Amino acid sequence: MASILDRYGIKEVADVTFYEIDSNGQPGKPVLYLDTLKVSTIEQTAESVDARGGKGNPKLVTWDYGKEINVTLEDALFSAKSMSISLGNGSVAMDTAYDIERVVMVRCTEAQKLPDYFVADVYANGGSERKRVWTASASDMPDTDQYVALASSGLTVEAVWDEAGTTSYASYAAAASSAVAGNKYFVKYKAKATSRTITISGDKFPGTYYVTGDTYARSDVDGKDQFFQFIIPKAKLTAEQTITLEAEGDPSVFNMNLTVLRPEDGDMMKLVQYDLNAPA
């Protein structure tokens, strides 16, 4: 049997599960499982006040108060659910017929004529390959899979603007009739898509969850790993979030910061080292 004085090292990141908290303060259904974390950090802090007196005014008695436990999770990947939990109230709206709006730019090469096509990311069969959407007569469309006719693309041209943004046209053809050679034009179109929408509003903030994290602790005697779990009965997810989009450097990571709250029984966190019993 292991001794409570046996020593272990901890290095591996934890897999973390978020649960709803029911009306009795107990864990309900799981709402999020994170097994792609890069960092999982637990930090405990507290304040103190001292009684001082005597020659030199040294510290005589110290009182600790204001204990805080903060947990930082850094995830290499995100899901719609993890993003909604960290940015709002955890809800994700699903829509199988969502109208997504996009804008592309075309250049007029000769007066009163726009290019016969524009390049779009969305087309009839729902793929993401960039296709040339043919706007001229279908009979003139090149016989190649690089092109798709506007009528069968699933796209709807909403409007076309000139490069100054001062004049709009109701259709691609209307813009072409008065196009100026050398100028660029903005083409706004809609495409049908299946969406997962996270709405961030001023009155919705991240919630409070029951959280567990599972990792390993390695013995300094035999080098074997044993299970190690932290349990947080009541953790408030803070509202700070940063999403970095950049062309160079490492991929963006997604941070979730938790402040541990005191539950009714006063136990803010449990750290459990355990061995699974072999089947009888």
Domain boundaries, the chain: 8-91+200-274, 94-197
Residue 44 reports pLDDT greater than 90? yes
What is the spatial distance between Cα 166 and Cα 112, in angstroms, rounded to a whole number? 18
Residue 86 reports pLDDT greater than 60? yes
Q: How far apart are the first and last CA of the chain?
A: 18
User: 78: which residues sit within 8 A by CB, 6+ positions away?
Assistant: 254
Reported as a pLDDT band with limits 50, 70 and 90, residue 226 is confident
Range 8-91+200-274 has CATH code 2.30.110 = yes
Looking at residue 280, what is its pLDDT? 61
Mean pLDDT of 63-67: 93
Query: With a threshold of 0.85, does the pTM exceed it?
Result: no
Nearest one of 229, 230, 228, 237 to 260, comparing CA atoms: 237
Tokens for 216?
A: 């390993």
Nearest one of 265, 80, 106, 114 to 188, comparing CA atoms: 106
What is the spatial distance between Cα 82 and Cα 74, in angstroms, rounded to a whole number? 12
What is the distance, to the nearest Å, from the Cα of residue 71 to the centroid of all Cα atoms in its chain? 18
